[in-house]
Structures are given as C-alpha cells and as structure tokens.
Amino acid sequence: MRVIEKNKLGNFSKNFYFDKSTPISSIYQLFYIPSGRYSYWFNLMRNNKKSLILAAALEVVENEGANHLTLDAVAKKAGFSKGGVLYHFSTKTELLKGMVNYLIETNDTKLLKRKTGEKLIAAIVQQENQMTTQERRASFALVAAASEDEELLEPARKYYSQLFQEVTRNSASSNEAILLLLAIEGMRWLNILDLSPLSKDETKDIRRLLKLRAAEN
C-alpha cells in the first residue's frame, strides 16, 4: 500500500510503502497533524483509529476466543500502545459496547443502501449472500459481549426486535418473512461458529432458494 509522508508544514513530500506486516500504528502516525487548520483530517484519522481498534478486538475474539479479549491483547493486535486504546475505550466494558454498536451500525448501513422498492427481507438475504469476512467477523461482538455480561447485549436485542417488526410490516406474509429471517440468521451463525454440516455447494443452493422466496414475499 502506498502512502505519502507529510513534512511539518503539512505538505506531502515522500512516498512510503507498507505490506500486511506493517503495524497499524506506524501507518497512523504518518498522518498525525498537529496544526489546527488540519483538524478535520486529524479527527478523521482519530475516528479511523477507533475503527481499527474495534477491528483488532473482533479479530482477537475470532482467532483466540472471547476469554482472551483484553485491552493488552487488542493493543498488541492493532499495533498501538495500551494508552492509545484506553484513549478511545477506557475499560473492557466500553470496548465491548463499541463492538456491539459496530455490529449494529454495519448491518444498518448495508440495509439503508438497498434498492428503492426492494423488500427488506430480500435485502437481508442479499446482504447475507454478499457479506464480507470483516462483516461476518463483526458478529463475534455478540459472542464476546455475551461471555462478559448479558446486559451488554441489550442494544442488539432492541435492534433485532425492531428488525423483526420492520420485516413483518414490509412483507406480504409476515410469517413467511419471519421464517426466512430465522433461516438466514441460523445459517449465518452456524457458518460463523463453524458448526454447519452443509457443504459450500449445499449452502450456496440454500441461499439461492432463500433469495427466490424472499423476492416473492
């Protein structure tokens, strides 16, 4: 990946190249801008740093398990100091809240971009079929939160309650829509937890069938 270094005057002067082994913090520090007139870009990078911390936390849960989620582990995974993590998330509880909210926002953003006139249940099925690895990884936020304190799942409970209500209001048959939503959520979690007995081809066929049924609803 090619990025540009800034000199002290805020002018771009030098090229640098990074690969996957480069710590995230090294890339971030190149973009540190102390001048007030660049505060917009500084705030943008600060928000990006928060997203990188959340991504690192989700990766820790996915690869090492929820019981290994600590601020130290997240800092190491992200390539930041622990103080850098604490600046955005003062406690593990705050980090877990951020992870759950990240999952909800990720889902909401995708659904809000659905085509005009497209049924909500059809958009959900389509979203599942096109879900990226990073988006699937966001679901581990619920695993981590549940292992720590079930009250941290309250925002997710409200989200799913609203989602089910919207799906039923937006469908010709509410029972059919709920059945499709339960099917797609069940498939997603079986795949995320690596519990599905279906082959890739069988999973693909089921998703195609769900897509057809959703379009009819």
Tens-digit pLDDT string for the chain (217 aa):
444 343 333 443 444 444 545 454 444 444 444 444 434 333 444 568 888 899 899 889 888 888 889 999 999 999 999 999 999 999 999 999 999 998 888 888 777 777 666 788 888 888 888 877 777 777 888 888 888 888 999 999 999 999 899 888 888 888 998 999 999 999 888 888 889 999 989 988 998 999 888 888 7
Which helix H or strand E contains 179, and what residues bound it?
Answer: helix 174-192
Nearest to 138 by CA among 108, 112, 100: 100
Fold of 1-90: Arc Repressor Mutant, subunit A (1.10.10)
- Assessment of whether the complete model's pTM goes beyond 0.75: no
Between the CA of residue 57 and those of 98, 106, 203, 216, 217, what are the distances in Å?
10, 15, 28, 39, 38
Instruction: Give the whole-angstrom CA distance, residue 158 versus residue 155.
Output: 5
CA neighbours closer than 13 Å in the CB half-sphere of residue 58: 24
Between CA 70 and CA 86 the distance in angstroms is 11
Q: pLDDT value at position 95?
A: 94
Whether 4 contacts 12, CB under 8 Å: yes
